[in-house]
Structure 1
Amino acid sequence: MSAVCYDVAAVNSIAKIHQELDLARPDLIILGGGFSERPPVDICAELVRDPRCADVPIMMLVPPDSRLAALQAGATAALDPDVDDQILMARVRGLLRETEMPQAAPMGMAEPAAAFVHEVRPLIALVADSHARALRWRQMLAERMNCRFEIRDPDEALGSVTSGRTADLYLISGDIRAKGDGLRLLSELRSRQGSRDAGFVIAIAPDRSDLAAIALDLGAGDVLFESLGGAEGADAAAMSLQMLLQRKSRSDKRRAEVQRHMVWAMTDPLTGLYNRRYALPKLGEIVRDALIANHAFAVIAIDLDHFKSINDSHGHSAGDVVLVEIAGRLKAALPSTGMVARMGGEEFLAVLEHCSEAEAQDTAEALRRAIQVRPVALPGLCGGGQVRVTASVGMAVVQPSEEGGWPEQRAQVALERADRALLAAKAAGRNRVMRSQPDWAA
């Protein structure tokens, strides 16, 4: 382990294990025999319950007849003590890859998820070298796992991903129709958007142990013999698959939580539009792309007219209703290639990529008309009725030939030009579009 640049702490007693845990949280625990105090399976169970080891994978090196006991004790993986070094290192790399997944930052006041949500039984796809073997797998596993099973050939396994029928876990023969084609199927499924996050197990013949390390490095969570250990080892095989399903479920929840936090970070919570924090860096990216492609872009600043009077007359809840409605109208009226954001209060920003001055003018007018096209209906809680809403719009079209600095500087100048045009629209009577000229930025 040290020879391949892992930072390793080797201990030979339970007391020393606890000393190391007090010093630092490990990324992986490899637990073998040789402890005089207690059996290693009992030590594993104790470590699983230790808060210092929360989410730390534990790999146990135990004889085959102790594999089920190790998994039942909470071990993430169980290997033979005489495992080949190449397979051992491949399994280590696989477990460490899983721990490198982004973790969602804990949010204050969080509550545990409700327990009454109905969960669909996991789906396991069986891709074997023969239909008879797939039937045996299904019979052995169905007796031990509360899962759905589907027998698929390689083409069906790939086609189901395209049709949205992705399995939660794939059990694949290492050699299906030709030598090693099960690994090619694994690699293909791992590369596809719909199936890359599934669990994978490769089943190999006793004389094909050379496939094990390759399968683990390609992303398999486990490698089993194609007999699944027979009647004696079926319980351990089912336990291994069940643990992979549990790890997939935890990973799916972490990814969903991270995705939610990303959305929250760049989204205005009231209107659902992008917020200022996202819009300004995105504008810089659009400017940079425009410079590279040598095309123009447009910045459109939008401010609702007399918005304060809506809050004063109908209350802030009515103002929120208006903002949500107007945000929806702006999003619907903007071309799909454009970006619209709420910059704060009643101020909105739209950005158009690769557009002419005429196209930008037409879009700005379309946004203004979308706002005033019909009054906004207020709900009964806000007093009911309707309010008429208009907006002043300032537009700046930036040509690639115009002088400027870095993309961020050009973005700032474009924003200033659009803001100046917006002020001009308000000064001219509101509810109109004004276009800036390059010299206004001076």
Structure 2
Amino acid sequence: MTAEIMVADGTATARITLKVRLRAVCYQVTAVATVGQLLQQLRVSRPDLIILGSNLADGTALDLCRRLSNDRQVADIPILMLVDPDQRLAALQAGATATLDPGVDEQMLMARIRTILREIDMPPPGMQDAEPIGMAEAQAGFGHAVHPLVALVADHPARAQRWRQMLSGRMSCRFDIQTPDQALGAATSGRSADIYLIAADIRARGDGLSLLSELRTRQGSRDAGFVIAIAPERAELAAIALDLGAGDVMPLMLGTAQAAQAAAMTLQMLLSRKSRIEQRRADVQRQMQWAMTDPLTGLYNRRYALPRLTQMTREARAGSRRLAVLAIDLDHFKEVNDTYGHSAGDAVLVEIAHRLRNTIGQSGLAARMGGEEFLGVMPDCPVDQAQRLAESLRRVVQDMPVLLPGLSGGGQIRVTASVGLAMVIPSGQVGSEQAGQMAIERADRALLAAKAAGRNRVVCACADRAA
């Protein structure tokens, strides 16, 4: 979907020119000339980005930026301000997401816009290429919440020392001077920085951009923030750096207190953005966890288990391997609830779920399908191994009593389980979803046979006999 950009500039030629440039690359653009028009338009539509120019008839761009940043309803809309370099610090202090010179060339303008929109459009880091729900790799939290780590990779140790001297009094961060090899080595070993400040030219022309690309592909550092420091004569690298994934660019030399303060604010904004993204990721992971797990036992629920079984069936077929499906039901569970109360029943379900998960192991799938019914799936599991696993599960339920909570009067009880076993046979005659469902149906029929035969036993559908 095309991004919507709102442009506010009091100079007609500047406003029209900017509108034409943006529409030429297929952005949806709304242009206004005054503060009042912008505020009125915000009540009608919500843009993805606001670009503030100058010469607004009824107020200054700085005041408007400050007003928007303090308005909860629109404060999260990024603002790109077109200001002279000597106004950059004031613009950042007013709440601008980024600044550009009013005479910026087309390449740099579009690169900066793409960078800002990329930050708001992208899913939380680590979620783009995640495995199916619940199978994703655990993500690292926000590394140093109190004192984040900023890695300084300069073209000369003296430059890095100067950066640290100018920034350390303006930010509550730890600063670590690193060579490119040290930065890559630390990222590979899981000791990445929260932010990297990298010179565009370190040992050779443009090698800082190569380092940026490398760090963005490493597992340990791909979610960090990046700022590229560029010499005045190498200004053409700014747009390239942004398109390679840098969050911002800054001057190579921090010669004045104003320049150092602007750099510190840039780094701090990247740290804040990183923290927000980490929180988004945690929220998404938590919501996914709630959606796919049974709240009582912590096992996967039916909503997750059935699609996952389909996927495991597909994987088994691709590798010509067998898949074992176990239908497990606790015997006489209603009597536990009727005799000891529902808190005792819950305690039994939680304990049996724990035993099931430990018996199935990390490579398999354990799920609560509802009530006292459970599902177990084991990949790459021949029939004989599946029968031994099912019998082990039956015994681990039977042999160890379950401790009851004090609310139920304490003590302990013994419970048993009946187990039905079926195999998914590698075959291309039916689809993976249908094959998985057929295996569950066969396992359920085997479970009913186990119940009819006296309970507390395993019946294998494929062998048609009790184990």
1:197-253, Cα deviation, whole Å (9 max, x unpaired): 111100111111121111101111110111135333111111111111111111111
Q: Any idea what SS the aligned residue of 2:197 has? A: strand
My pick for the range that moved more, 133-142 or 11-20, is 11-20
Of 438, 442, 445, the match for 1:417: 442
Contact 2:324/2:422, CA 8 A, preserved across alignment: yes
Of 33, 50, 53, the match for 2:54: 33
Query: Offset of 1:71 from its aligned partner?
Result: 0.6
Query: Offset of 1:404 from its aligned partner?
Result: 4.6
User: Which residue pairs with 2:369 in the alignment?
Assistant: 343
Of 71, 84, 88, the match for 1:50: 71
My pick for the range that moved more, 425-434 or 223-232, is 223-232
Query: Offset of 1:77 from its aligned partner?
Result: 0.5
Contact 1:372/1:389, CA 8 A, preserved across alignment: yes
Query: Offset of 1:101 from its aligned partner?
Result: 3.5
User: Which residue pairs with 1:72 in the alignment?
Assistant: 93
1:323-371, Cα deviation, whole Å (9 max, x unpaired): 1111111111114321111111111101112221111111111211221
Measured at CA, do residues 245 and 366 of structure 1 come closer, stay the same or move farther in structure 2, by a change above 3 Å?
A: same
Letter of the 2:30 counterpart:
A
User: Which residue pairs with 2:228 in the alignment?
Assistant: 202
User: Which residue pairs with 1:292 in the alignment?
Assistant: 318
Letter of the 1:148 counterpart:
R
Contact 1:229/1:237, CA 8 A, preserved across alignment: no
1:108-145, Cα deviation, whole Å (9 max, x unpaired): xxxxxxxxxx9421111111111111111111001111
Letter of the 1:308 counterpart:
K
Q: Any idea what SS the aligned residue of 2:258 has? A: helix
Of 309, 315, 332, the match for 1:306: 332
Of 254, 259, 267, the match for 2:293: 267
Work out whether 1:61 is the aligned partner of 2:87: no
How do residues 110-189 of structure 1 correspond to structure 2 at under 5 angstroms? 119-189=145-215
User: Which residue pairs with 1:222 in the alignment?
Assistant: 248
With normalisation by structure 1, the TM-score equals 0.92
Structure 1's unaligned 5+ residue stretches are 104-117
Contact 2:48/2:78, CA 8 A, preserved across alignment: yes
Contact 1:102/1:258, CA 8 A, preserved across alignment: no
My pick for the range that moved more, 150-159 or 87-96, is 150-159
Q: Any idea what SS the aligned residue of 2:48 has? A: coil
Q: Any idea what SS the aligned residue of 1:224 has? A: strand
Q: Any idea what SS the aligned residue of 1:337 has? A: coil
Letter of the 1:101 counterpart:
M
Query: Offset of 1:271 from its aligned partner?
Result: 1.3
User: Which residue pairs with 1:433 in the alignment?
Assistant: 458
User: Which residue pairs with 2:276 in the alignment?
Assistant: 250
Q: Any idea what SS the aligned residue of 1:301 has? A: strand
Query: Offset of 1:61 from its aligned partner?
Result: 0.7
User: Which residue pairs with 2:121 in the alignment?
Assistant: 100
Letter of the 2:272 counterpart:
Q
How do residues 383-394 of structure 1 correspond to structure 2 at under 5 angstroms? 383-394=409-420
Measured at CA, do residues 373 and 188 of structure 1 come closer, stay the same or move farther in structure 2, by a change above 3 Å?
A: farther
User: Which residue pairs with 1:110 in the alignment?
Assistant: none
User: Which residue pairs with 1:192 in the alignment?
Assistant: 218
Letter of the 1:205 counterpart:
A
Contact 1:21/1:52, CA 8 A, preserved across alignment: no
Structure 2's unaligned 5+ residue stretches are 1-21, 125-143
Q: Any idea what SS the aligned residue of 1:26 has? A: coil
1:373-410, Cα deviation, whole Å (9 max, x unpaired): 31111232332111112100000012224x85222111
Work out whether 1:408 is the aligned partner of 2:429: no
Letter of the 1:169 counterpart:
I
User: Which residue pairs with 1:9 in the alignment?
Assistant: 30
Letter of the 2:54 counterpart:
G
